[in-house]
Structure 1
Amino acid sequence: MVLSRFSVIERALTLGGLAPLALIGAAPQHQDGRITELLPPGYVHNSVAPQRQVVIPAPTPLVTDIDRLVAGFGGKVGVAVKSIDAGWMVSKNGDVPMPQQSVSKLWVTLTLLDQVDQGRVRLDDPITITRSDLTLFHQPIASLLKNGVYNTTVRELMRRAMTMSDNTANDRLLRHVGGPSAVNAYIARHSLGAIKFGPGERLLQSRTAGLTWRQDYAMGRAFQAARAKLPPNVRQAAFNSYVANPIDGAAAAAIANALTKLRRGELLSPASTAYLIGVMESSRTGHARLRASVPPGWRLAHKTGTGQDLMGRTAGFNDVGILTAPDGRAYSIAVMIGDTSRPTQERQKLMQNVVARVVAYHDSEAPQRVMAQ
């Protein structure tokens, strides 16, 4: 019975691209039959009670590095790095809510997969997209509508939302799972902390621009044209209001903790955990952000987010993810740039530098880990 349970978990993790498990000797069990030692470092299935951990202080060199990167950047920035295995966290402005933008697609997908785990939704359920479903900005699915209709599945919409950041795909999934209230209920139920899910793409973007949403804004560049006609003071007031108190605001530390819970298997079933991490590892967005500093042999499962621009500022420029080393150890990383006038390449460089510092710390600790074994 123990081996069959192990094989199910191992198969799910392998399919999702996670580090393979090593079975050494008999599987240790608690008296009530729960298994913890069979799982890889940092991974705890949500049916297993998390074990009490000794609080380990964050490594001083990494704390110093992250502090310097953020202090030298300028603007409203939050960075958090958490060791999924050891449990320590490095956080700089990590408790300040920042605009999430498309990072929030992650919470829609988690809510969806939770409903899959409950048997309420199937990934292969059919869904029809029509012109009335279209949103704005990045929505490549719009080109697939023939005669105003595109027939697809829940699985395909989720893949598009997470790997292409397709806004229409995500908003359609959002309605499928029960709307913003269902997503916020999932966040609250799992105690994910300072994370808010906003009203969906249409209302979020129109409010940020100072507009009231109309469905005809979804066609072509109608939204951009309407926005350009607004008086500059109206646009600036709406932009500033959103950045100061984002309706979809989330703190970097809360996101890093949520990603840690995901990797440990505390948010979804083993199969859904492996599936989602595999999808996030195949993301096509943000190649010049966190991913640009990921060395060969390492893996990154991530989600980007980018808001509207106004006078050289961007209402949210983000990348969050799970960075896994060749030895299987993993780190959750969240870099949230809420407001800055620094050029895009410098924002990307900040994200790359965070990954580079984490990798350097991990490599510097490798000899000590080998000696400890």
Structure 2
Amino acid sequence: MLRQSLSITLLWLLSFTAYSQSVVSLNTDIKSLLDSKQATVGVSIWDQNANPIVAINADNQLPMQSVFKFHLAAAVLHQVDQGKWSLADKITITPDDLDNGLWSPIRKKYPTGAELTLAQVIKYTVAVSDNVGCDVLIGMLGGPKVLEQYLHQAGIKDIAVKYNEEMMQQVWQRQFDNWTTANGANQALSKLYDNNEQLLSATSHRFLWDVMKSSKTGKNKIRAGVRQGTIVAHKTGYSGKHNQTGVIAAHNDIGIVFLPNGSHYYISILVSDSRESSDDSQKIIADISKLAWMHFSAEN
């Protein structure tokens, strides 16, 4: 019996040692990848139990851009759970709502306005990063301050939301006031997915994560680093380039990657102040995603 117990202990120690070495190797490989890049990159990778595996510049306050549309959807769904709205409620999109000149598949499909359900507006906002839908939802909530307050009350502290999309996009510097950290992004993902504090009802939780899994943006980011067909629930953000300097303030992707064995991991990558090309900035995210995929796939 003693021999069997010692054998089990030895196997556990060997397994733990191998895992620890794998984590060290993952961190080393990511740092090596970033060494030559002209960008500030925040990286946070957690296992499915929200244990940190990688934290590189993970507490740096970096601009979110459209990443905050995920947080916005959660805040709106919280109000749905409170009985303020229903996902079936009709939301009027007016010509004034459409008149912001920003990216909007809603405008493209309904150039003179439309009546959409709240569920449709959330899907447009998150899955295809619609800016018209985003600002309509922020207006319904009562403004960016209300969104920020909800997030802080939910225990998501490392985030600031000062502007809606229209106001943020008018002045380049304003995007830096809508910030999060890579760790803060993972915290939001894990809190809202694990839902241990019942921040969302079961119905709203399922709706949010179905929408996140249907996201159409960012095919060259986190999704590019995982095996084809892998389910990824994620939200991207992109600033474009500064007209004078050519610097990219934000090329971001945060999400949950679901492994074939049913487990998952959290990964948030915020590429900021990048002097790399747009393609190369996205490749930074894809390459880190691939390293994370290899680590967790080998583990399972």
TM range (shorter): 0.7 to 0.9
- Counterpart position of 1:270: 202
Distance change >3 Å, CA 250–CA 129, structure 1 → 2: same
**1:162 and 1:283 in contact (8 A); partners too:** yes
Q: Residues 40 and 271 of structure 2 are in contact (CA less than 8 Å); yes or no, is this contact kept in structure 1? A: yes
Amino acid aligned to 1:142: R
2:44 and 2:52 in contact (8 A); partners too? no
Q: TM-score, normalised by structure 2?
A: 0.86
2:232 is the counterpart of 1:300: yes
In structure 2, what is the equivalent of residue 173 of structure 1? 137
The 3-state SS of whatever aligns with 1:342 is coil
Alpha-carbon deviation of 1:207? 2.0
1:35-114 to 2 correspondences below 5 Å: 59-85=23-49, 87-114=51-78
Q: 2:80 aligns with which of 116, 123, 129?
A: 116
Q: Distance in 1 between matches of 2:148 and 2:71?
A: 8
Equivalent residues in 2 for 1:199-218 (5 A)?
A: 199-208=163-172
1:144/1:150 contact within 8 Å kept: no
Moved more, 105-114 or 289-298: 289-298
Aligned to 1:256: 186
Deviation string 1:290-315 (CA, Å, 9 cap, x unpaired) is 11122145310011101131232122
- 1:314 is paired with a residue whose SS is coil
Paired letter, 2:217: T
Helix, strand or coil at the partner of 2:138: helix
- Structure 2 unmatched ranges of 5 or more: 1-18
Partner of 1:356: 290
1:285 alignment counterpart: 217
Query: How far is the alpha carbon of 1:174 from its aligned partner?
Result: 1.0
Counterparts of 2:174 and 2:144, CA distance in 1: 18
Q: How many residues align?
A: 276
Q: Which residue of 2 aligns with 1:29?
A: none
Per-residue CA deviations over 1:296-336 (Å, capped at 9, x if unaligned) read: 45310011101131232122111111111011111111111
Distance in 1 (CA, whole Å) between partners of 2:254 and 2:169 is 21
CA deviation profile, 1:331-360 (whole Å, cap 9, x unmatched): 111111111110122112111111111111
TM-score (norm 1): 0.70
Call closer, same or farther: CA 1:349–1:265 in 2, change over 3 Å. same
1:129 alignment partner in structure 2: 93
Shift of 1:83: 0.9
Structure-2 separation of matches of 1:142 and 1:88:
41
Q: Does 1:345 align with 2:282?
A: no
For 2:170 and 2:25, locate their aligned partners in 1 and report how far apart those are by CA, in whole Å. Answer: 43
Distance 1:71 1:269 in 2: 43
1:182 aligns with 2:146: yes
Partners of 2:212 and 2:115 lie apart in 1 by 24
List alignment gaps of at least 5 residues for structure 1: 1-55, 209-240, 367-373
Distance 2:50 2:152 in 1: 25
Match of 2:12 in 1: none
CA 1:197–1:86 in 2, change beyond 3 Å: closer, same or farther? closer
Q: Structure 1's 200 and 60: CA in aligned 2 closer, same or farther, altered over 3 A?
A: same
Determine which structure has the larger helix proportion and give its number.
Answer: 2
Instruction: Name the counterpart of 2:113.
Output: 149
Q: Percent identity?
A: 31
What's 1:33 paired with?
none
